[in-house]
Structure 1
Amino acid sequence: MSFDYILTILKPMLEGAQMTILLFLIAIVVSIPLGFLLTLAVKSRLKPLSWLAQVFIYVMRGTPLLLQLLVICFGLPMIPGIGEYLVLDRFVAACIGFILNYSAYFAEIFRGGLLAIDKGQYEAAQVLGFSKWQMMTRIIMPQMFRIALPAVANESVTLVKDTALLYAVAVPELLHFAETAVNRDFTIVPFMVAGVIYLLMTLVLTYVFKLIERRFTFE
């Protein structure tokens, strides 16, 4: 193993890492608010809405993410009559799959955060004359996010690692370029380099969440 060889394989792998990071950013930015909306839907007094949200969460959490990606990428276009309108770009399909899957997990995390808030908080808000909107935005939601933050951080780290599933739907990301180099050069060095890149990404993400947790702790 030479330093020159590592530099040779590093450029395409970093290009693949850009795809990995892009998917992560899209998924995290969309799935967190969607997960919160799902939590509200589950707690809704409209029974059909609550039931649909619970079924969605159960299906998304109860089936493998890889299976969901395969269905969206290759299964939907096979539906008779409408399949031709459901052909998506592989990266777009992967984004949809990740967003739907992780929104279900974040919904359960936020639900746990809401359940952890003492009922006295709701009663105190009503006594002080807060409207339902004020109660949720000023009292309940800040506490819920503070409670849920460690679990959100852990799930986000898992999301970074799960981006490797892009390889299964033929989206050229970090692992794809590592696999290509391994097959071409008959060495495991590219896998080691890919592992280091994943570790660096999760290290940065963990550090960011530590800063956020520290800020919430001292507020």
Structure 2
Amino acid sequence: MTLQGDGGTDPRGHGDDVRAVPLRHPGRWVASAVVLVVAAAVVSSLVTNERFQWDVVGEYFFSSAILSGLWTTLWLTAVSMTIAVVLGIVIALMRLSPNPVLQGGANLYTWFFRGTPLLVQLIFLFNISALYPVLTVGVPFGPQFFEIPANDILTPAVVAIVGLSLNEAAYMAEIVRGGIKSVDHGQTEAAQALGLRRSVIMRRVVLPQAIRVILPPTGNETISMLKYTSLISVIAMPELLYSAQVIYSRTYETIPLLLVASIWYLIVTSVLTVGQAYLERRMSRDQRNPETFLGGLRRHLRVHDRRAITRRERP
């Protein structure tokens, strides 16, 4: 806002009165008008355009095929994301390891899976039997314990879980690594001074504090994972999108069935977004006065000193 004098003097002679004049923002009004016009045009098109076939959308929205595909999408997301988080933690610890072999292997893993498209990885894995018709378990250049045809193991469900998990683990590894690096190094030094092992320090000191940084992007990755499951349709896995494709390939009602799938994706992602927002608010409240490892150690020492002084002062 601007300050503008009115040229008068107050009775006490303190000079000109100052009147606040708010600044005008015509650009905001123009932008708001444009947004409202676009929103009205979209709503009008959705309501008046009969080619959307909303009656067909309502007919198939709760059909058994669509609900079965939705269930497949949900459990596929949950299983793949769980495996990816566990594997991502392992890879992140390997990247932070002083062992150059572990560090190099983790770097190679993240380089490959972050550098190639997920769709290519899924198709390649689905056709891996062309390279390895028979999978064997044994000692390299030594005896083989047993073998099994690749097609008997790599079903579409297995390919979907393995492909999604391996790809997502590369991104989760970077998220976990960033969370671990965000923890003050003094926490680790204090734990080492107490004689704790590296594995105990990581499990009891570092990871509990890093979870505050890891959790929000993990929620974003979970939402992304839900949408990435639509790529499984290329290997004929009957998830939500593939179920819609099967129906409209028979009825030729492409747009309504794509709308059905899109609405279900929006519903599930909205629920996940609400859950993510709740967790972030919960953790932000916990972060207002967090007790770090050093803070807890100092508090423990102060209590111990007070008890020692009290014992000495007793007659």
TM-score, structure 2 as length reference: 0.64
The farther-off stretch of 78-87 and 90-99 is 78-87
Partner of 2:243: 177
Q: Do the aligned partners of 2:114 and 2:167 also contact (CA within 8 Å) in 1?
A: yes
Q: What residue in structure 2 maps to residue 38 of structure 1?
A: 91
Letter in 2 for 1:154: N
Of 118-127 and 100-109, more deviation after overlay is shown by 118-127
Distance in 1 (CA, whole Å) between partners of 2:133 and 2:79 is 31
Amino acid at match of 1:10: F
Match of 1:160 among 213, 219, 226: 226
Q: Report 1:61-100 matches (<5 A).
A: 61-74=114-127, 76-79=128-131, 82=134, 85-87=149-151, 88-100=154-166
Offset from partner CA, 1:92-140 (integer Å, 9 cap, x none): 1111001111111100111111222222222233345544344222321
Inter-partner Cα distance in structure 2 for 1:178 and 1:112: 39
Q: Which consecutive segments of 4 or more residues in structure 1 shift more than 6 A?
A: none
State the 1:9 CA deviation. Answer: 5.1
Alignment check: 8 A CA contact 2:60 2:66 kept: no
Kindly indicate whether the alpha-carbon contact (under 8 Å) linking 1:36 and 1:110 is maintained by their aligned counterparts in 2.
Answer: yes
Report the count of equivalent residues. 218
Contact 1:31 1:100 in 2 (8 A): yes
Question: How far is the alpha carbon of 1:210 from its aligned partner?
Answer: 2.4
Task: State the SS of the aligned residue for 1:10.
Answer: coil
1:216 aligns with 2:269: no
2:98 aligned partner, one-letter code: R
Cα separation, 1, equivalents of 2:210 and 2:181: 9
Structure with higher helix content: 1
- Partner of 1:155, secondary structure, is helix
Asked whether the 8 Å contact 1:9–1:181 carries over to 2, the reply is no
Matched, 1:188 2:255: yes
Name the aligned partner's letter for residue 132 of structure 1: R
Q: Percent identity?
A: 33
1:19-76, CA deviations, whole angstroms, 9 ceiling, x for partnerless residues?
Answer: 11111011011110110001111122221121111101110110011111111111x1
Q: Distance in 1 between matches of 2:156 and 2:105?
A: 27
- Unaligned 5+ runs, structure 1: none
TM-score by length of 1: 0.90
- Is the 8 Å Cα contact of residues 54 and 256 (structure 2) preserved in structure 1? no
Name the structure where strand makes up a greater proportion of residues. Answer: 2
Q: Which residue identity does 1:122 align to in structure 2? A: T
Taking the aligned partners of 1:145 and 1:185, their CA distance within structure 2 comes to: 48
Query: 2:3 is matched with which residue?
Result: none
Unaligned runs of 5+ in 2: 1-52, 136-147, 287-315
Relative to structure 1, is the Cα distance of residues 8 and 157 closer, same or farther in structure 2, using a 3 angstrom cutoff? closer
